[in-house]
């Protein structure tokens, strides 16, 4: 009986380990303006590289809690990042369907691919009024370093406050 | 916060005028009579546009968030203290990095609004707003982190985008905007429709907050984040309990859909048996400096 229990526990560990150590491979694209690569799968990991929007990466390992180990297609950058930073295909990255020219049109088909974007914002700002004031205030604040926290500073800020103990 | 609510509601009045026709008359009839274009084609395009919210890219969500943020900042400016803003953004970034969605298109940004009511709000695209009055109501960094973690959880779970997807009024605004754009062969009408949608969404969010279900999800995510980072998870129910006291403006925090007392009790039950790390002097010091600068 004891061996059966032990065998069951072992099997459970193997299943768990397989689930957490998947090796999916495949190419993904960075879908955020800047993705930070860390030296370990943790928000307290040291930032070792940064990849721009649209950069291609190869996923080499996938862990639970949404972390993936990737290697950049171009250059030598490699490390761990959140899977939330990656799109699975180009269409998903660009949004909607059709080319940029098609999407700029006003047919029912082209309009279907539209949504909130830079052009929509520019047209609203051009109208002036309160919304233009709101956008101006937003951009003034976003231009200040205080409103642009860097993920690379997180470990030091946590350590200073005696945090990070759960890891 | 009341000023903000009032201002946003007033701003949304324009949209209400547009929408009255859509509520009383069939949307299809309204689109046809107002624009003279093929209502079925416009409806099909609007439907695709609406469903594109389902697959909204992080970039599109960012621009939606900018639209909401602009509505909010037009009504209420942020406080001018740069050191406090930097501190709140560092705490926010810490809890955001420990969340289920640390990477968003334009990064997380946290704004302290020049308003007294103890309130906070998360817009899509990772724009988080917290009133000066709420920062001052916090007893320490752990409570502030609890508030910010709750708002980050709304962003991480895309509650804002999902709320728009469910909205029939958003759908109606899109149909009209698409039809107008087809008629005038110009996307200005579509920009206006999307702007109206953003304004109305902001007004709803400020007035009613997220649904009870979304608030509960955000509460539970928030205490998980606090635990992961090493903050005291009990800080969030502690804050909710204190805001519920008479005379402290209780009821306006996040939402009045779920009573603060029920949320506090749910959280207290969830964290039973969890470790309770100590608050360090360094944490107390840096929070006190930021709070005092807001006086």
Distance from C-alpha of A139 to C-alpha of A54, rounded to nearest angstrom: 24
* Mean pLDDT for the stretch of residues B13-29: 32
Report chain B's terminal Cα–Cα distance, integer Å.
Answer: 17
For residue B60, the chain A residue with the least C-alpha distance is A116
Q: Is the pLDDT of residue B240 over 70?
A: yes
A116 → closest Cβ in B45, B47, B194: B194
A111 → closest Cβ in B45, B98, B108: B45
Q: Higher-confidence residue: A92 or A85?
A: A85
SS3 assignment, position B108 = coil
CB A124 within 8 A of CB B191: yes
Pair of tokens at residue A138 = 């937003």
Pair of tokens at residue B187 = 């996307």
Q: Quickly count: other Cβ atoms within 10 Å of residue B294's Cβ.
A: 15
Q: Return the closest-CA partner of residue B124 out of B70, B66, B71.
A: B66
Residues B144-198 have pLDDT tens digits of 999 999 999 999 999 998 888 777 777 777 777 777 777 777 778 778 888 888 8
The gap from C-alpha B2 to its chain's centroid, in whole angstroms, comes to 16
Contact A112 B45 (CB under 8 A): yes
Residues A23-70 have pLDDT tens digits of 455 789 999 999 999 999 999 999 999 999 999 999 999 987 789 999
Q: Which residues of B touch A139 (CB under 8 A)?
A: none
Q: Which of A20-29, B80-89, B264-273, B277-286 has the lowest mean pLDDT?
A: A20-29
SS3 assignment, position A53 = coil
**What is the pTM (predicted TM-score) of this model?**
0.81
pLDDT (0 to 100) of residue B254: 47
Q: Quickly count: other Cβ atoms within 10 Å of residue B24's Cβ.
A: 8
For residue A167, the chain B residue with the least C-alpha distance is B228
Contact A94 B229 (CB under 8 A): no
For residue A150, the chain B residue with the least C-alpha distance is B93
pLDDT (0 to 100) of residue B24: 26
Distance from C-alpha of A3 to C-alpha of B124, rounded to nearest angstrom: 53
Q: CA of B205: how far to CAs of B15, B120, B219, in Å?
A: 15, 11, 17
CB B9 within 8 A of CB B203: yes
Pair of tokens at residue B127 = 């724009």
Percentages helix, strand, coil for chain B (3-state, rounded to 5) are 70, 5, 25
Q: Quickly count: other Cβ atoms within 10 Å of residue A92's Cβ.
A: 14
Contact B57 A154 (CB under 8 A): no
The distance of B17 to chain A (nearest Cα, Å) reads: 18
Residue A79 phi, psi (nearest 5): 160, -170
pLDDT (0 to 100) of residue A9: 52
Contact B57 A107 (CB under 8 A): no
SS3 assignment, position A138 = helix
Express as a percent the part of chain B with pLDDT over 70. 76
- Of A126-140, B42-56, B185-199, highest mean pLDDT: A126-140
Distance from C-alpha of A126 to C-alpha of A122, rounded to nearest angstrom: 6
pLDDT (0 to 100) of residue B162: 87
ipTM greater than 0.95: no
The distance of A104 to chain B (nearest Cα, Å) reads: 8
The distance of B231 to chain A (nearest Cα, Å) reads: 7
The distance of B181 to chain A (nearest Cα, Å) reads: 6
Residue with tokens 């309160």: A130
Residue with tokens 């298109």: B105
Q: Of chain B residues 234-273, which have a CB less than 8 A from chain A? A: none
Pair of tokens at residue A48 = 């070792």
């Amino acid at each position: 009986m004891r061996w059966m229990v032990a065998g069951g526990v072992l099997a459970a560990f193997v299943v768990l380990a397989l689930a957490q150590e998947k090796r999916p491979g495949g190419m993904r694209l960075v879908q955020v303006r800047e993705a930070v690569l860390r030296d370990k799968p943790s928000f307290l990991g040291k930032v070792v590289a940064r990849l721009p929007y649209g950069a291609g990466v190869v996923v080499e390992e996938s862990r639970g809690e949404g972390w993936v180990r990737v290697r950049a297609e171009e250059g030598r950058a490699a490390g761990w990042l959140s899977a939330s930073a990656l799109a699975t295909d180009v269409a998903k990255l660009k949004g909607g369907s059709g080319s940029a020219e098609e999407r700029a049109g006003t047919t029912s088909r082209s309009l279907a691919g539209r949504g909130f974007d830079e052009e929509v914002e520019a047209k609203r700002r051009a109208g002036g009024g309160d919304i233009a004031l709101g956008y101006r205030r937003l951009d003034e604040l976003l231009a200040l370093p205080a409103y642009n926290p860097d993920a690379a500073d997180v470990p030091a800020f946590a350590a200073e406050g005696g945090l990070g103990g759960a890891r | 916060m009341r000023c903000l609510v009032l201002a946003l509601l007033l701003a949304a009045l324009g949209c209400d005028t547009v929408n009255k026709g859509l509520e009383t008359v069939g949307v299809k009839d309204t689109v046809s009579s107002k624009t003279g274009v093929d209502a079925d084609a416009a409806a099909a395009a609007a439907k695709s546009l609406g469903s594109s919210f389902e697959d909204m890219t992080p970039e599109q969500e960012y621009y939606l968030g900018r639209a909401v943020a602009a509505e909010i900042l037009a009504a209420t400016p942020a406080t001018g203290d740069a050191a406090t803003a930097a501190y709140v953004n560092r705490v926010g970034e810490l809890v955001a990095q420990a969340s289920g969605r640390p990477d968003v298109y334009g990064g997380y940004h946290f704004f302290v609004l020049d308003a007294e009511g103890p309130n906070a709000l998360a817009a899509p695209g990772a724009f988080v707003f917290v009133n000066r009055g709420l920062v001052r109501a916090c007893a320490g960094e752990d409570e502030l982190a609890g508030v910010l973690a709750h708002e980050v959880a709304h962003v991480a779970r895309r509650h804002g985008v999902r709320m728009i997807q469910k909205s029939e009024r958003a759908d109606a605004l899109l149909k009209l905007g698409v039809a107008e754009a087809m008629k005038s062969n110009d996307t200005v009408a579509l920009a206006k429709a999307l702007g109206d949608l953003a304004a109305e969404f902001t007004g709803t969010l400020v007035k009613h907050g997220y649904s009870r279900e979304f608030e509960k999800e955000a509460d539970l995510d928030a205490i998980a984040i606090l635990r992961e980072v090493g903050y005291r998870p009990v800080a969030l129910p502690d804050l909710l309990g204190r805001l519920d006291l008479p005379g402290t403006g209780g009821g306006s925090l996040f939402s009045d859909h779920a009573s603060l007392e029920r949320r506090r009790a749910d959280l207290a039950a969830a964290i039973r048996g969890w470790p309770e790390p100590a608050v360090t002097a360094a944490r107390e010091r840096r929070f006190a400096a930021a709070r005092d600068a807001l006086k």
